[in-house]
Structure formats: C-alpha cells, structure tokens
Homo-oligomer: A and B are copies of this chain.
Amino acid sequence: MSKHGTVKKAVLAYSGGLDTSIIVRWLIEEYGCEVIAFSADLGQGQELDGIPEKARKTGASKCYVEDLREEFVRDFVFPMFRANAIYEGRYFLGTSIARPLISKKQMEIALAEEADAVCHGATGKGNDQVRFELAYYHFNPEIKIIAPWREWDLNSREALIAYANKHGIPVPVTKKRPWSSDRNLLHISFEGGILENPWAEPPEEMYLLSVAPEEAPDKPEYVEIEFRNGDPVAINGQALSPAQLLAHLNELGGKHGIGRADIMENRFVGMKSRGVYETPGGTILEEAHRGVEQITMDREVLNLRDSLIPRYATMVYNGFWFAPEREAMQALTDETQKTVNGVARVKLYKGHCRVVGRKSDTNSLFDPEVATFEADEVYNQADAEGFIRLNALRLRIRSAMQKKRG
C-alpha cells in the first residue's frame, strides 16, 4: 500500500503524450495499482492507432480507444449551440464541452472494469480538473479521483523528462511548442508559454485549423446551412451526420481563415488567463443559427434565451454539464428551438463570416404573405398612437408629478 491510500485499479484519461505516459508509470509506482488507459477520439485529428501498444508498453494493463465523434457533436456540441452559449462574449467552449463526455465514458469503463479510481492529466491551476471531476462525481459520488499534477513534485519539464528517462518512457524528439493546446472536432485551444503576455499578438505559425485570413481565397464563398429544431442537418442541401457536418464546416471555415479568437478569460479557479482559439466550423454555425433564429424565433423568446446565455455558458465553462441547473436551462432552450427550422446563407471571406440570407418554409414569422392581409386587419397605423401613449403613461405621470412638485 502506498502513501496515497489504497487503490487497486485506476482508469486513466490517456492521450499517448509524454505527460499521460508518465502518469501511467507514476500510478504504478506510487499507488501500486493496475492502470487502464482510455483514449477518446473526439476528432483531435491525431493518430490513435498506435495508442494501445504505446499504453501497454508504458505499463497499462489494457487500453480502450473509442470513437466518440458522433456522440460528441450530437449530444454535447449541438445542445450547447442551441443555446448560443458563448463564454464571456467570445469563447465557444470547445474544451469545456468535451470534458463531460470523456468523463462519462471513463466512468463507464471504470464501472465495467470494477476500477476503484479514475485519473486525469489536468493541472491544478486550470478549469479542466474541475470539469473532469464534477462529471466523475456525478456518475459515482464515491469514486476515488487521482490528479497527479496536484500530488506529485514533477513540476517542470526537466523533472518530467528525468522521470521518463529513469523509467524508460520514450520522450518525443520534437521540440515542445511554447504553449499548450487542446483539440477536438469543435476547436483547438492555445494557452500558456509565450501567450502569457497579453499584449503580444500570437505568432501565425501557432494556428492549426485555419489559414491566416491574409492567405485565404480572394473570392468569397457562400454556404447554405439547414437547421431542424435548432440543429444543423444539411449543408448546401446535402444531409450530413452531426460529426460529418461539423467536420465539413471546419474545412470550409479553416480554408477561409474563420473562427480565430484571442481573449483574456476568467477561470473558475479565480485567475485570468489568456486563451487563443480556432473554432472554424463552430463560428459559422453560430452565425447561421442566429440567422435562422432571426426569422423563426419570437421576440420575447429570443430576449429570454439571450439573457440566459451568460449563465448557461458559465455552467458549461465551469464544468456543470451533468447538473440539474444545466438540464433545466436545456429544457427551456430546447423548447425555444422547436420552431428553429430553416436555412441560412452565409458568406465566408478572409477570416469572417456573415449571414446574408435566411428563410424558413415552415416557421418564418416574416412570411411575405402576411402583407396580403387587409391592411386594417393586421396593422393599423393608428394603433401605434395608443400603443405609444400607454407605454409612455408611467413616464408621463412621473414627469408630471416631478414638475408639479418643482
């Protein structure tokens, strides 16, 4: 038994990179436990084929690799986009929304494997540890959670490499890039390192999913996206599965340099942090979704939903996906999306996209035939006088009484 308490079997969220490779070994050394590796394919575009061998070589007794791309987009990304959730006005929550799904599968494996612990490679200063662990606890409130970065003393790259060398863990020969990043089908994020100077523009070579706007085609491209119940279902008339659709939008957006964001954001743990993001498809998606909403959604519904965006987005950012308050908000959101059926036409050009047309055969509240109503049946200009006078009444009384009292 180790100093850390008894653990028999741990399921580790494993990427195959240096850090999680070291964690496999460290778990064995420190906890003396069996380690089961788990890698999720969320569209990070990384080769996962060799992963199981790699995991086993480093000491894992088993390795699960699961393709979660469709589930990710269908059950996590799309519900969130129905809510137009954007954190602090700028961040599309690409990393935040992935963590709950990874945790869910990891806990399913833990259950199947009768593991008594789960483990992740997130640091103690970030948001991801919270997101992972809130989800773990949701599925099993008594699970033992191991967060090596909060426990060990391998707090520098040098220490990690020394540990790897000592334990025969292969260290990648490529030089580490001066920032860290996280990628999936919705986005790639960059943070840390040279980005910690908030006044310095990020270097062009950092970006992976999009060309520089300056390098994008000189001719705009138009794309038509069809929505049903608030979810995108087809591009330019072609039906696509959720993951296919988002992948296709990523290609389009990346080609046109769309979806870069450079922000200072506020972490749940209480500090500000610089984050740079590429969300090519998601950026197009949000613009198109708003376009269809504009023509199909009632004014007051839109206002109500919009006023809740900061709250919904904060829930996702902070890791409260599997939480009753998020579910309540989702119920409202999904109710508002029942009418969001239609097509948006979006212009893509040099780093930016903009809706230039929208239509809905079934749910437009701007059907041109409204105009064929008899004028006085639907809109009588004289009505506006009474409308204004009663809207003004409380202000008029207030002014009149102020005046009277001097």
**Residue positions of A touching B, CB distance < 8 A:** 84, 88-90, 123-125, 129-130, 133-134, 137-142, 147, 149-150, 196-202, 213-214, 218, 220, 260-266, 269-272, 274, 290-291, 294-295, 298-308, 310-311, 314, 318, 320, 322-325, 327-329, 331-332, 334-336, 339, 345, 347, 349-352, 354-359, 362-370, 373, 377-401, 403-405
- A292 vs B134: C-alpha distance in the bound complex, in angstroms? 26
**Contact A199–B345 (Cβ < 8 Å):** yes
Stoichiometry, copies per complex: 4
List residues of chain B with CB within 8 A of the CB of A274.
366
- A335 vs B325: C-alpha distance in the bound complex, in angstroms? 10
List residues of chain B with CB within 8 A of the CB of A335.
327-328, 331-332
**Contact A350–B306 (Cβ < 8 Å):** no
**Contact B385–A384 (Cβ < 8 Å):** no
Whole-angstrom distance between the Cβ of A313 and the nearest chain B Cβ: 9
- A364 vs B329: C-alpha distance in the bound complex, in angstroms? 22
List residues of chain B with CB within 8 A of the CB of A384.
124-125, 129-130, 147, 150, 269, 386, 390
List residues of chain B with CB within 8 A of the CB of A299.
266, 270, 272, 394
List residues of chain B with CB within 8 A of the CB of A327.
335
**Contact A320–B349 (Cβ < 8 Å):** no
Whole-angstrom distance between the Cβ of A274 and the nearest chain B Cβ: 8
Picked from B263, B352, B394, the residue with its CB within 8 Å of the CB of A298 is B394
- A87 vs B359: C-alpha distance in the bound complex, in angstroms? 21
